[in-house]
Structure formats: C-alpha cells, structure tokens
Structure 1
Amino acid sequence: MGHSTFLWQHLGINLMTDPHLTDRASPLEFIGPKRLNPPAKELRESPSIDFVIISHNHCDHLDRKTVLALKKQQPEKPPYFLVPLGLKSWVADIGITEKVIELDWWQSEQIGQWNFTVVPVQHWSKRVLFDTNKTLWAGWVVRSPDQKLFFAGNTGYSKDFVEIGKHFGPMELSLTPNWAYAPRWFIKDMHVNPEEAVKIHIDNESRQSIGMHWGTFLNLTEEPLLEPPQRLFQELLKQQINPMEFRVLEHGQTLMF
C-alpha cells in the first residue's frame, strides 16, 4: 500500500502493518515529507482489518489520522492494535482503549490461532520534541498455523536477525526495509542498506522477502530514488540468490504465494 504499510491476507484474516495513508509523514498537515506516490488504496476500499501491528512511533510509520480512520470505519468490530512497549498510552490518548496489546521484546500474545511476538531491531523512537526513545521500537514475528511473517519495521543491521532466524526461521515472508540509508556516516546504525537487507533475508532463512520503505516519500535521505532496487538486485546476484526471492513491488502490487 506504500512505504511500510502492507495488507497481508491469510486464512480469512486481514493484517495491516504500520498504518500510514495520508499525504505527509508529519504530525502537521502542512509541513514535513510529502508523498511521491499516493496510497495504493484508500482505507474505505480495504477489507475489514483484524490486526494492526505497529513497529514504532515515527510519523512515517504511525499516522494518527489513519489510525483514527481505522477505528471509525469499524465501530462494531475494531481491529486489534498490537504495539511495542510504551505506545499503548499514545493509542489511548487518541481514544482507542479496547483490543490494544502492548508487548516488550521477546514477549508474545496468542489471539485465537495467531501468535504475535515482538522482536528486537536496531532503531530509535521519537514523536515530539522531548520524547526521544521513551517508547520501544520493534520488529514482529506473526505465526499462523501454517506460515510465519517477519515485519522488520525500520532498522539498522545487527546480529539480532541471526537470533530471530534461530528462534523462528525459516520465514515464509519477510518485509524488510530497503531505503533511506544515506549518508552512511549518519544513518548506518538505524537504517539498513540493500546489501544489509540481503543479510537479513539470509539470517531469517526467508523463503520470500519484500523490500519496503521505498518510493513513497520525498526527501527523507540522500540516495537516488532508483538506486535501492538496483543495488538490491546486484547484491542478490552476488550472493547467488534468485532475485525472485527478494522483490520490490510497485505501489498497489499484490504478491500471492
């Protein structure tokens, strides 16, 4: 759907990641990074959402208007909101107090036949001026009876992915960042580059990966717009990995597997 917002449909369940379907990645409507590409779908065009998983509180990953629209659109059957430690209060502050589950790293929650585990990634959090790192940032492993999904949110590279792979691999699907990595001297610890994204694919023993966090917003970092998928393709060839195993989708494109 764009950036880090995906709709995963499996076994009759609809799961949305990092909901952001408005024009800017900002707490203000008139300033901040603007979309290069509109959302692939309006929320009203989407099916009823059962689960929303949130990785952290940065404005390009957690959008207040989109979250409120999700609540308004489904008054009779609101989705579960699964959030990292410290974000439950933010969700409550905007009026959502039911079906909100807050977890620390390595904690899990079982909801019916679905299991959700928060896993460590290397990033940071900040929503307003004085709340730096007051809430947790995280990845998610979602397990259904027959598949495992890894959602990285946003992250630099660390050996956490080796541990995640040991605990949960192989993954049927990994959603991994592939953009906003330049300049490296400034952003290396917080954002993977395409070569590191391939390492995550290997560490997690992913059968299929999708590069995300690319091609949606203008002026987040310095690398040329088309560089990330090109470098990703070259690294896959270098590592002798079939490029079809790690794809970058067009906005609105659907992958069935």
Structure 2
Amino acid sequence: FCGLGTGELIQGWFPEMKLIEAGWYQQMEDEGLKITFLPAQHWSKRSVRDGGQRLWGAFMLQGNGISLYYSGDTGYSSHFREIPDLFGAPDYALLGIGAYKPRWFMRPNHISPYESLTAAEEMHAGLTIPMHYGTFDLSDEPLHDPPKVFATEAKKRKIPVKIPYLGEIVKLNKQK
C-alpha cells in the first residue's frame, strides 16, 4: 500500500510483491487491519529528473482496537490537526524528529522535535514515539541531538513519550 506513482519503484526492488497505489485518504482493509494513506508535506524525488512524480504520505493503521499514526517523512503542517476529527485520537503516533536544522532550509520537509510534540498534542496522541533521526548525517544538528531535545521538551509539556533503544521492541496495547 503506497502512494500514487510509487508502485513501479517498489516493484523494481520486489518484483513478486502485490502493490496497491493510493491517493490521500484512500483506504484498504485486510484481515481486520485498516490502513489509510494520508497527507504528508515533503518532496518526492529519487533522482535529478523525477521530482513530484510520486505521492508522498503518512499512514493510519487501525486494528484490534488499536490505532497508530505513522507520519512518514514530513514537514509540519495543518494535516496533523485533522487526525482526531477523522479517526479519533491515535493510541500511538510515530513522528519524525531529525534532520531539522537549519530550520530555514529543513522546515518544509522535516518536523523538528518541538513541532513533532505540537503535532502529537494536536492529534491528542496517547503515546508519541520519535523516529527519523540518528541514521544519516543529513543536516546541521548532531545525530544525538533530536532525542535529547525531544525528551526535554516532552517533559516540559508533560506529553507521554517512549524513546526506544536501538532494536527495542515496543509492544502496542490499547492506550487508556
């Protein structure tokens, strides 16, 4: 289940995989798991000449009484505020926090730890789990900076977060 225009790319990597391309707000359901493809704010490009040919997005996963929002790679925008109206507050929100400096350059495509927590507040997320940091040195902040900034700010705002250790399994349970 991927954005429009992305199927051909993925099929090249995994020829036997069955793919469904979706536009924003399209859904699929299989064996009790519902997946909705949602807006994200990011460019889509794999080479110099293919900008804007694939639809970038986020995902809402719902099943077994649990909902999980996965932001994908995104900048901060109003799309976070619509989540509770469409789906209710997600039990879990996986939100990017890295590759955010300098803000003048990164703001349209990568949310900062601060914006990530604002998005979590807007969605009324049960538990927020940071992602998209510490892997590639793509920006001006040190690789260890995003989770430190995120944890400090989450504590100030009293937002429930879980920052998993590398390789840690996070068991999903219905949030209260």
TM-score (structure 1 length as normaliser): 0.64
**Is the Cα contact below 8 Å between 1:119 and 1:164 reproduced in 2?**
no
Number of matched pairs: 172
Identify which range, 121-130 or 84-93, moves more after superposition: 84-93
Query: Residue 132 of structure 2 aligns with which residue?
Result: 213
Q: Could you say which residue in structure 2 is the equivalent of 1:249? A: 164
Matched, 1:222 2:140: yes
- After superposition, the Cα gap between the structure-2 partners of 1:92 and 1:225, relative to the gap in structure 1 and judged at 3 Å, is closer
State the Cα deviation string for residues 32-86 of structure 1 (Å, max 9, x = none): xxxxxxxxxxxxxxxxxxxxxxxxxxxxxxxxxxxxxxxxxxxxxxxxxx11111
**1:166 maps to what in 2?**
85
Indicate the residue corresponding to 1:112 in structure 2.
31
C-alpha spacing 1:223/1:95, structure 2 compared with 1 (3 Å): closer
Quick one: structure 1 residues 94 and 214, their matched pair in 2 at CA, closer, same or farther if it must change by over 3 Å? closer
Q: Do 1:109 and 1:116's aligned partners in 2 also have CA atoms closer than 8 Å? A: yes
- 2:116 alignment partner AA: A
Instruction: After TM superposition, give the deviation of residue 237 of structure 1 in Å.
Output: 2.6
- Asked whether the 8 Å contact 2:83–2:89 carries over to 1, the reply is no
Cα displacement (A) at 1:95: 5.2
Q: In the alignment, which residue of structure 1 is the partner of 2:3?
A: 84
8 Å CA contact 1:179–1:193 kept in 2: the answer is yes
Cα pair distance change 1:98/1:251, threshold 3 Å? closer
Runs of 4+ in structure 1 off by over 4 angstroms are: none
Task: Please tell me whether the aligned partners of residues 135 and 143 of structure 2 are also in contact (alpha carbons under 8 angstroms).
Answer: no
**What residue is the counterpart of 2:57 in the other structure?**
138
User: What residue identity is the alignment partner of 1:152?
Assistant: S
Taking only aligned residues, the RMSD between alpha carbons, in angstroms, comes to: 1.5
| SS of residue matched to 1:246 | coil
CA distance in 1, matches of 2:10, 2:151: 38
Distance of 2:28 and 2:21 partners within structure 1: 9
Indicate the residue corresponding to 1:127 in structure 2: 46
Aligned residue in 2 for 1:232: 150
The percent of aligned pairs where both chains have the same amino acid is 32
Amino acid across the alignment from 1:247: K
The residue number in structure 2 matching 1:148 is 67
1:101 counterpart (5, 12, 20): 20
CA shift digits 1:198-241 (9 cap, x unpaired)? 01111221111110011222x21110222212211222233233
Residue in 2 that maps onto 1:24: none
TM normalised by structure 2 equals 0.91
Any stretches of 5+ residues in structure 1 without a counterpart? 1-81
Instruction: Structure 2: give runs of 5+ residues left out of the alignment.
Output: none
Tell me the equivalent position of 2:108: 189
Does structure 2 retain, via aligned residues, the 8 Å contact 1:172–1:208? yes
